Amino acid sequence: MSGELNMSEENENTLLKNLLEYIPIAVFFIVFILFKDDVVVLFGRDLSGFVLATLAFVPLVVFATATSWIVLKEVSRVQLLTLVLVVVFGGMTIFFNDERFLKIKPTLIYCLFSIILLVGVFRKTSYLEALLGKALPLSYDGWMILTRRMAYFFLFLAALNEFVWRTQSTEVWVYFKTFGLTVAMFAFFISQYSVFKTYGNFKD
């Protein structure tokens, strides 16, 4: 009975984590789509749909992180780093009324993640294991291979983000950020099936 309760609580926590992660992104996307062709006067300033979406996005990320800390009693270093960059670059986007600041945020995040993972590889340690170890029971060699590939993949995403926001329209970038990066990350893990199969310790 207690096992069923623990399982139910774990499922609820997982659901809440997913909601806290994706609701701010969903709200940003919806607000942008609704106001992408409009200029909204707020606080005496003319704001584009992108800046208005950012104005909704930043406090939601702060709220989601605070909720995770209060309710789930956990906030990862990745979440804290993301929060800081969202507040800084989202705040600059709003303050300067310039969408470029938020657009370069993914580039900086992916570059930082890549550097951190490569430093770990250089020290023969997988920092990725510290984040995903419970979900992916791999051997040491498996983690080192996955970590190295993930670091290079993050560099690829950083370069891809730079290409998209500098060469495409704001609307294209929003679709890319909302859906494209998520699909790319999913595709990456699918492509690592051989690593999971060879170095995994999964129970039947």
A 10 A CB-CB count for 85 gives: 18
Q: What is the pLDDT of residue 73?
A: 83
109: left (phi over 0), alpha (psi -120 to 50) or beta: alpha
Question: Residue 53 and residue 173: Cα distance in Å, rounded?
Answer: 14
Q: What whole-number distance in Å separates Cα of residue 144 and Cα of residue 115?
A: 15
70: CB partners within 8 A, 6+ apart: none
Q: pLDDT of 107-143, one tens digit each?
A: 999 999 999 999 999 999 999 988 877 778 899 999 9
pLDDT one-digit tens code per residue, 150-178 = 999 999 999 999 999 999 999 999 999 99
Residue 25 has pLDDT above 90, yes or no: yes
CA distance 204 to 199: 15
User: In the numeric block, which tokens belong to residue 96?
Assistant: 């300067």
DSSP SS3 for 200? strand
The rounded distance, in Å, linking the Cα atoms of 64 and 170 is 25
Residue 36 makes CB contacts below 8 A (sequence gap 6+) with: 49, 50, 170, 171
**Neighbouring residues of 105: CB distance < 8 A, sequence distance ≥ 6:** 85, 86, 89, 90
How far is Cα 57 from Cα 28, in angstroms, rounded to an integer?
5
Report helix, strand and coil shares of the chain as percent, to nearest 5. 80, 5, 15
**What pLDDT score does 28 carry?**
96
**pTM of the full structure:** 0.86
64 φ/ψ angles, rounded to the nearest 5 degrees:
-65, -40
pLDDT value of residue 15: 81
pLDDT at 5: 44
Among 10-19, 35-44, 67-76, 125-134, the minimum mean pLDDT is found in 10-19
